[in-house]
Chains A and B, each alone.
Chain A
């Protein structure tokens, strides 16, 4: 469904992505994992072509295909219309619009008023709390409620592919589990393919069908989550279940991923 082929993205003179390739298959939940600054958010922004502002030619190299069509030179609004929806890191709701107006903005690319109504109800089914707060200003919602709003808003464009950047950021463990359950619902009941960027590796590996691990702008592993969860390195450095935590072990691991 989404095919990323050897892309490079630069911030001025810093190369943030060093030739990334991966594929997301229809119907899957795919997760991108990696430490801070690995370039996960940069990948999503490149796909949405939000870095266009910084430089015309982003991604600098490589291609991105969605449903068999090249999108690496399309404008963001066309990409949204083609069926990709994006929940950015840090929610980014419209603070002074009401919850309902925020949700309506998610349907900006659509014209069919009647079905928009049904979809709003559908979003409220997923997130009943938003219904209770629908006339409140979004800026006055709690962080968790804003996250739900951002996801609900992203669903309003009827995406085929939903990309989420750290949906669990700053949420309590309980709420994180709720959000992940809803993400799974969206995937299984609504049939939306999901590309998930996460710091919460444990959770992400529980819910995903496939995982990519990143380091320094490169993809270093592509594996089924079951395998990664049993992997000693992953246990040690991402899940924090260490047999031996040592500087040496860490260096050994860095060497390993660097030469892959």
Chain B
């Protein structure tokens, strides 16, 4: 149960990364998972090849992930001036393939072990029957910090408000003197960073290989759809729900676990396309 919530928080965190890009660029970034995968590999590489302490590797990886996000936006999306939605999707899929190929070439397709400096066997049992692992505590703490930071950032900083403004009306944002291209670079860098954090959590639970983010990405995408693809708190709740649903199915019908993400996506899109928690804004003419 707690474990399911923690995984859900990871999905939520990763879905937040998806949503930040969706809100600014209006494209579902299918390369998101592979961007996180690539960053996790960089962390792995720094740790295993150079034996740096974890925190240093972490900081370097974060910087790297920001650069990676900016670079992908610059190389893949910027040149396409007025792409259709389908075109954008194809572009991000291309970026995904590219990153996956690059990772397989550099690090090989075999599975590696990636561990956070947390002892996974340390558990707590505050209430009887409720077991919390070290990992779950770290996930909750990090997710809470990032959420708090995002709330303050989008609400009170000039850049944060400018990002929201650009997302609501790019044309008007330009007129205000906002450099909208920079806002896009920034959103991609930011999103890539959050994705990398989530990626490292996933990697430390399972193994690290070039395809390891495929499933988490799908589930996070389901969480994002559940939350309406637009609101960050909605997405976190969506993530938590997703984690619980999955845990529940995994317990009763383990065979169904892998496809539950698809079922959720399809159900939500059929029944409530705007997500469970969104208030929809109707443009006044």
Contacts and interface: CB of A to CB of B under 8 A. Distances in A.
Interface stretch (B166-174, B194-202, B218-226): B166-174
* Listed residue (B82, B165, B179) with the most chain A CB atoms within 10 angstroms of its CB: B165
Contacts of B175: 48, 50, 76, 80, 86, 88, 92
A77 B161 contact: no
Interface in B74-104: 81-82
A109 interface: yes
A74 B27 CA distance: 29
Contacts of A146: 284
B178 interface: yes
B283 interface: yes
Interface string B171-208: 11111111100000000000000000000000000000
A143 B283 CA distance: 12
A56 to B, nearest CB: 10
Interface of B: 81-82, 158, 161-162, 164-165, 168-169, 171-179, 281, 283-284
Contacts of B281: 95-96, 139
A94 interface: yes
Contacts of B173: 94, 105
B176 A106 contact: yes
A136 B206 CA distance: 47
A94 B164 contact: yes
Contacts of A95: 168-169, 281, 283-284
B277 to A, nearest CB: 15
A236 interface: no
13 contacts: A50-B175, A88-B175, A92-B169, A92-B175, A95-B169, A97-B164, A97-B165, A97-B168, A101-B161, A105-B173, A105-B176, A108-B158, A108-B178
A104 interface: yes
Contacts of A109: 176-177
Nearest to A109: B177
Contact of A53 (B81, B161, B168, B176): B81
Contacts of A193: none
Contacts of B178: 77, 105, 108
Contact of B177 (A53, A80, A88, A143): A80
B161 A97 contact: yes
A53 B174 CA distance: 11
Contact of A157 (B81, B165, B171, B177): B177
Given A97-B165, A105-B161, A139-B281, A80 B176 contact: yes
Contact of B165 (A81, A105, A143): A105
A81 B177 contact: yes
Interface in A90-135: 92-97, 101, 104-106, 108-109
Contacts of B81: 53
Contacts of B174: 50, 76-77
A81 B171 CA distance: 17
Interface in A47-62: 48, 50, 53
Contacts of A92: 169, 171-172, 175
Contacts of A106: 176
B168 A94 contact: yes
B186 to A, nearest CB: 14
Sorted nearest first, the 10 A-B pairs with minimum C-beta distance are A80-B177, A109-B177, A92-B172, A77-B177, A94-B168, A94-B165, A108-B176, A76-B174, A105-B176, A105-B165
A139 B164 contact: no
A139 B279 CA distance: 13
Contact of B164 (A75, A96, A108): A96
Given A95-B283, A139-B283, A108 B177 contact: yes
A53 B180 CA distance: 12
Nearest to A156: B176
A108 B175 CA distance: 10
B207 to A, nearest CB: 42
Nearest to B170: A53
A92 B166 CA distance: 12
B150 to A, nearest CB: 16
Contacts of B162: 105, 108
B166 to A, nearest CB: 9
A109 B176 CA distance: 8
A160 B165 CA distance: 24
A77 B284 CA distance: 27
Contacts of A77: 174, 177-179
Contact of B284 (A81, A108, A143, A157): A143
A96 B164 CA distance: 8
A1 B147 CA distance: 49
Nearest to B174: A76
Interface in A209-241: none
A139 B171 contact: no
Contact of B172 (A81, A88, A101, A104): A88
B181 to A, nearest CB: 10
Contacts of B176: 80, 105-106, 108-109, 153, 157
